[in-house]
Amino acid sequence: MRAVLTRDEMRAADAAALEAVSHETLVERAGTAVGGAALRMIGGAYGRRVVVVAGKGSNGADGRVAADMLERRGARVTVLDASELGNGAALPACDLVIDGAYGTGFRGSYAAPVSPLGALVLAIDLPSGVDADTGEAAGEPVCADRTVTFAALKPGLLQGAGPERSGTVEVADIGIGFVTPRASLIDDADVAALLAPRERGVNKWTNAVGIAAGSAGMEGAAVLCSRGAMAAGAGMVRLGAPGDPTAAWPTEAVRMHLPAEGWSGAFLEATSKCRAVVVGPGLGTDEAMSEEIRAVVANAPVPLVIDADALTALGDVSSARTLLDKRSAPTVLTPHDGEYARVTGSAPGEDRLAAARRLAAAVGAVVLLKGPLTAVARPASGAPDVLLSDAGGPALATAGSGDVLSGIIAAFLARGVGPHEAAALAAHVHGRAAMLGPAAGLVAGDLPELVTRFLSGYAAEARSGGHDG
């Protein structure tokens, strides 16, 4: 996992570092890291033209160190004082602009100088004008091709306008230590670390998943959720669905038909040997269905993923908390922005980390807030309390992709991963699988096969010793 430090956490880390080394030493290290990145971007220094926009703070000092380094190597460097440049001022012709106007402490609106046509832009710590915590970008902030940030990632580089404004982000270690951060970004190394291979003696029930999904006309939700679970390692899927009996359900899923009312007891009995359960995708939102969903939520004795229509069945935050307090096993809620607003009464806002934390604390469950930056918060104290995934991108904005994600989460829960980690790991795997698909035209039905392909490189399981009895 990669550390993500807020503005306040970074300020505390800087203060602690200054007890061991001088401010000048840190500036020298940071400026040298920036200078190295600049050299890589423009392929050397001799004869290159570089403009450094330097503010009054540490970022400006870092930029001046980088300027000296590049000048010594033969670059023609111009250093401009950010405070003397008018809003949207035009910069002189150059090959590279180094943005050191403002850093993590910036708040407000900023109109960045206009870079000359063809010039690359390198931002120090984060693009000037982008809020370090939320990624908000009022005015016309810097739009960088690359950003060198120090010690750890910042939330504003991952959410809001930050990803579009930051370009490729490089984390430079300049000797600033920090305690375990409250937020961390999941990466590929966590797949092997968190997802153990299935053991030699497993059978189909060892990692079985129960799913209640897919009313008439919405059978696809049940199919996609089931296939997602199977692709992520569920040994068996027990699917309860009220949909059309003649629909083409997954061959491998063991299906039971759910009547319109009174099905929760039979479903819970049928999934009693499962290790995790999903409820909600495509079930419908009428009151009779919502009542059955609430019965499953209250009584399922295993880890539970609450998705889609089941989120609507929870009602508002107060009703959701009352219902979820009846549970003895872990629970994961998977709202997108609209579902979040229906439960809480307001949209998540720019700061997705804070939004996920608020709902997790309010309902006492793990909350996976879907979006370009997926934030997974847990209600318990301790760090990290938010795990992040930035994998996937716009390709996942397609109908049914969330159903696949719910199945993956359930499979990881059934394989023994804790609820916080299972949800975040599933979001990462889901996104990375999407990146293996077509550049355009990805559909949710493509994802299960891509999930299997991605996981095969990290969680290869022993092929002997298991049986289906």
Q: Per residue in 389-401, pLDDT tens?
A: 999 989 999 999 9
Mean pLDDT of 244-273: 92
The tokens for 13 are 């880390």
Cα R_g (the chain), whole angstroms? 25
Reading the block at residue 405, the tokens are 């994600």
pTM of the model: 0.94
pLDDT band at 467 (very low <50, low <70, confident <90, very high): very low
Q: Which of 341, 423, 437, 440 is nearest to 389 (CA)?
A: 423
294: amino acid identity, one letter: R
- The domain limits of the chain are 2-6+26-181, 189-456
Alpha-carbon distances, residue 461 vs 142, 309, 341, 391 (angstroms) = 47, 34, 41, 24
**Distance set, CA 412 to CA 40, 321, 359 (Å):** 41, 24, 22
As a whole number, mean pLDDT of residues 446-464 equals 76
The CA distance from 451 to 227, in Å, is 10
22-41 pLDDT, tens digit per residue, is: 999 999 999 999 999 999 99
Give Cα 33 to chain centroid, integer Å.
27
Quick one: 449 exposed, middle or buried, by C-beta within 10 A (0-12, 13-18, 19+)?
Answer: middle
Query: Residue 192 pLDDT > 70, yes or no?
Result: yes
Q: Where are the beta strands (DSSP E) in 294-415?
A: 304-306, 331-333, 366-369, 374-377, 386-389
Question: Mean pLDDT throughout 424-445?
Answer: 96
Q: In the prediction, which pLDDT does 387 show? A: 98
Q: Which CATH class is domain 189-456?
A: alpha beta
Q: Provide, for the chain, the percentages of residues in helix, strand and coil under a 3-state DSSP scheme, each rounded to the nearest 5.
A: 40, 20, 45
Q: What is the pLDDT of residue 200?
A: 82
C-alpha closest to that of 222 among 270, 284, 291, 297? 284
Smallest CA-to-CA distance from 299 within 271, 318, 332, 319 is with 271
- What does the pLDDT read at residue 464? 37
Query: Taking 80 as the threshold, does the pLDDT of residue 374 lie above it?
Result: yes
**3-state SS, residue 469:** coil
- What rounded mean pLDDT belongs to the chain? 94
Tokens at residue 129, please? 């004008």
The percent of residues in the chain predicted with pLDDT above 90, rounded, is 90
Q: What is the mean pLDDT of residues 48-59?
A: 96
**What number is the average pLDDT over the span 188-208?**
90
Question: What is the spatial distance between Cα 361 and Cα 342, in angstroms, rounded to a whole number?
Answer: 17
pLDDT at 260: 81
The confidence score (pLDDT) of residue 466 equals: 42
- Look at residue 462 in the predicted model and tell me its pLDDT: 32
Q: Is the predicted pLDDT of residue 419 greater than 80, yes or no?
A: yes
- pLDDT beyond 60 at 264: yes
Q: Tell me which of 107-111, 123-127, 373-377 is least confident.
A: 107-111
pLDDT at 220 over 60: yes
Return the half-sphere exposure (C-beta side, CA atoms, 13 A cut-off) of residue 202: 22
Question: Is residue 337 predicted with pLDDT exceeding 60?
Answer: yes
CA distance 65 to 81: 14
The highest-level CATH class for domain 2-6+26-181 is alpha beta
Whether residue 190 is predicted with pLDDT greater than 70 in this model: the reply is yes
Is residue 173 scored above 60 in pLDDT?
A: yes
User: 235-254, pLDDT tens digit by residue?
Assistant: 999 999 998 888 889 999 99
pLDDT, mean of residues 94-107: 94
